[in-house]
Amino acid sequence: MLDALLAISTVAFIVAGAVVGVRLLRLAMRTHELTDYIVACSVLVLSPITYPLILVGTLGNFSLDETKLLSSISTTLIMIGWTGVFIFTQRVFRSGEMWARVFVGVGIAVIWYDGAAGIAFIQAAPDRAALQSPHSPLLWVQVAAIVVYAWSAFEGFRCWTLARRRLALGLADPLVVNRFLLWGFIGLSSLLSIVPSLVISLSGGNGMTHVGSRLCTAIGGLSASIALQLAFLPPAGYRRWVEARAAA
Amino acid sequence: MADAEAFDLICDQIEARTSLDRLAARGTVRIALKQAGLDSRSVTPEQMVVVAEKVLAGELSSRGIANANALCVDLAAKARKLVGGVSSETPDAIFRRLGG
């Protein structure tokens, strides 16, 4: 049952990321806005590119060197994707604020410093067991990801709260207001996918095999996929529902 | 981050045309913006027009300003003159664009 839920969640995450990512990339190619390119690339890199790569590396029958190569590439891609999430959050929600620029700088430095150490660890691993150890590095990369998703969720919910007041004055589009809410949910869902696994790993367990952690990962992945789709490629029926609710 | 041009304009006008001093004028406009879910640093001229028309009059009246409605109509007209000028991208504008 849990395996089936994880499989559905994984497929949904990859498909939603691919569809939404391509649409955002096409939009960015039309607008030539850096912010649009950043969010498009982050979605594409984190979902339909890296996720299948991790699955192939985990499930495929590769030599140790090939597995190391795949792990190093997927780690680098994750670092690129999370760097994008940091920059996007700052550019959209806190542009022009010095503290946010410093915060993002620190976050990105942590990701790349610890990520580089993680890749060195992968390359030096003597066997497959060492690669799959729950105590491998990348702790601080994951902490940085938790911080940026929490920040991103906070900003989404904050903007949603403010935008609802503007909606009452006719100063906001109901779909944009709803998009802020969904953006907050995407951040929360991403946290749900990462935090339990990390906590279990830090407490000595294996986050990759723990039932509770896997359940959280599945629910988080599924809810993030749905929110991503509704936010950036909503079906006509959903659009009508949001607009009707705002008009009521 | 500095306050938006539209915010400064409205505050200067209130300070010049009412008994409110600079601090009180800016505080009153900030309260009106907060009620509307806006911020003095990112408010656009278009948004300032609506706030002046729909929210600010009430705040000014509650501070004993006579003819607040007429003043706000004039303030909205002044803010409207800034529409179309240089403006930074707001989260609203970015999220509207990303929705296609």
Comparing alpha-carbon positions, the chain A residue that sits nearest to B53 is A169
Q: Which two tokens stand for residue A127?
A: 């066997």
For residue A241, give the amino acid letter: W
- The ipTM of this complex is 0.90
Query: Do B51 and A175 make contact, defined as CB atoms within 8 angstroms?
Result: no
Q: Is the distance from CB of B55 to CB of B97 less than 8 angstroms? A: no
CA distance A136 to A75: 12
Query: Do B95 and A172 make contact, defined as CB atoms within 8 angstroms?
Result: no
Q: What is the pLDDT of residue B85?
A: 66
Give chain B positions within 8 Å (CB) of A155.
91
**CA B28 distance to own-chain centroid:** 10
In degrees, to the nearest 5, what angle opens at C-alpha A37 toward C-alphas A171 and A42?
Answer: 100
User: pLDDT tens-digit profile of B28-64?
Assistant: 999 999 999 999 988 989 899 999 999 999 999 999 9
CA distance A140 to A132: 18
Query: Do A92 and B94 make contact, defined as CB atoms within 8 angstroms?
Result: yes
Read off the pTM: 0.87
Helix pair angle (A64-93, A34-44), 10° resolution: 150
**Quick check: A136 pLDDT over 80?**
no
C-alpha gyration radius of chain B: 14
Q: What is the pLDDT of residue A174?
A: 95
A177-to-A109, A132, A162, A191, B100 alpha-carbon distances in Å: 33, 42, 9, 22, 14
**Of A24, A35, A169, which has the smallest distance from its Cβ to B36's Cβ?**
A169
CA distance A234 to B66: 48
CB of A96 within 8 Å of a chain B CB? The answer is yes
What is the average per-residue pLDDT within A168-173?
Answer: 90
Element (H, E) at B72: helix B68-80
CA distance A247 to A144: 40
Comparing alpha-carbon positions, the chain A residue that sits nearest to B90 is A92
Of A204 and A158, the one with more pLDDT? A158
C-alpha gyration radius of chain A: 19
> CB neighbours (10 Å) of residue A192?
21
Could you give phi then psi for residue A76, rounded to 5 degrees?
Answer: -60, -40
User: Given the structure tokens 């006509």, which residue do they identify?
Assistant: A236
Give chain A positions within 8 Å (CB) of B92.
163, 166, 172-173, 176
Q: What is the pLDDT of residue A57?
A: 83
CB of A171 within 8 Å of a chain B CB? The answer is yes
CB of A163 within 8 Å of a chain B CB? The answer is yes
Strands (E), A86-239: none
User: Distance, in angstroms, between B42 CA and closest chain A CA?
Assistant: 10
**Of B35, B55, B92, which has the smallest distance from its Cβ to A163's Cβ?**
B92
Give chain B positions within 8 Å (CB) of A95.
88-89
**Quick check: A7 pLDDT over 80?**
yes
Query: Do B98 and A39 make contact, defined as CB atoms within 8 angstroms?
Result: yes
User: pLDDT tens-digit profile of A69-125?
Assistant: 999 999 999 999 999 999 999 999 998 889 999 999 999 999 999 999 999 989 998
Q: Is the distance from CB of A131 to CB of A205 less than 8 angstroms? A: no
**Of A27, A35, A169, which has the smallest distance from its Cβ to B100's Cβ?**
A27
Confidence of residue A133 (pLDDT cuts 50, 70, 90): low
Q: What is the pLDDT of residue B1?
A: 67
Query: Do B95 and A169 make contact, defined as CB atoms within 8 angstroms?
Result: no
* Separate counts of helices (H) and strands (E) for chain A: 10, 0
**Of B47, B88, B98, which has the smallest distance from its Cβ to A27's Cβ?**
B98
Q: What is the pLDDT of residue A248?
A: 80
**CA B15 distance to own-chain centroid:** 13
Could you give phi then psi for residue A154, rounded to 5 degrees?
Answer: -60, -45
User: Given the structure tokens 């942590």, which residue do they identify?
Assistant: A110
Query: Do A166 and B35 make contact, defined as CB atoms within 8 angstroms?
Result: no
Q: Is the distance from CB of B79 to CB of B9 less than 8 angstroms? A: yes
CA distance A147 to A220: 16
CB of A34 within 8 Å of a chain B CB? The answer is no
Comparing alpha-carbon positions, the chain A residue that sits nearest to B45 is A171
What is the average per-residue pLDDT within B76-84?
Answer: 88
What is the average per-residue pLDDT within A6-34?
Answer: 95
CA terminus-to-terminus distance, chain B: 29
Proportion of chain B above pLDDT 70, given as a percent: 94
In degrees, to the nearest 5, what angle opens at C-alpha A90 toward C-alphas A151 and A243?
Answer: 75
CB of A162 within 8 Å of a chain B CB? The answer is yes
Comparing alpha-carbon positions, the chain A residue that sits nearest to B35 is A165
What is the average per-residue pLDDT within A172-197?
Answer: 95
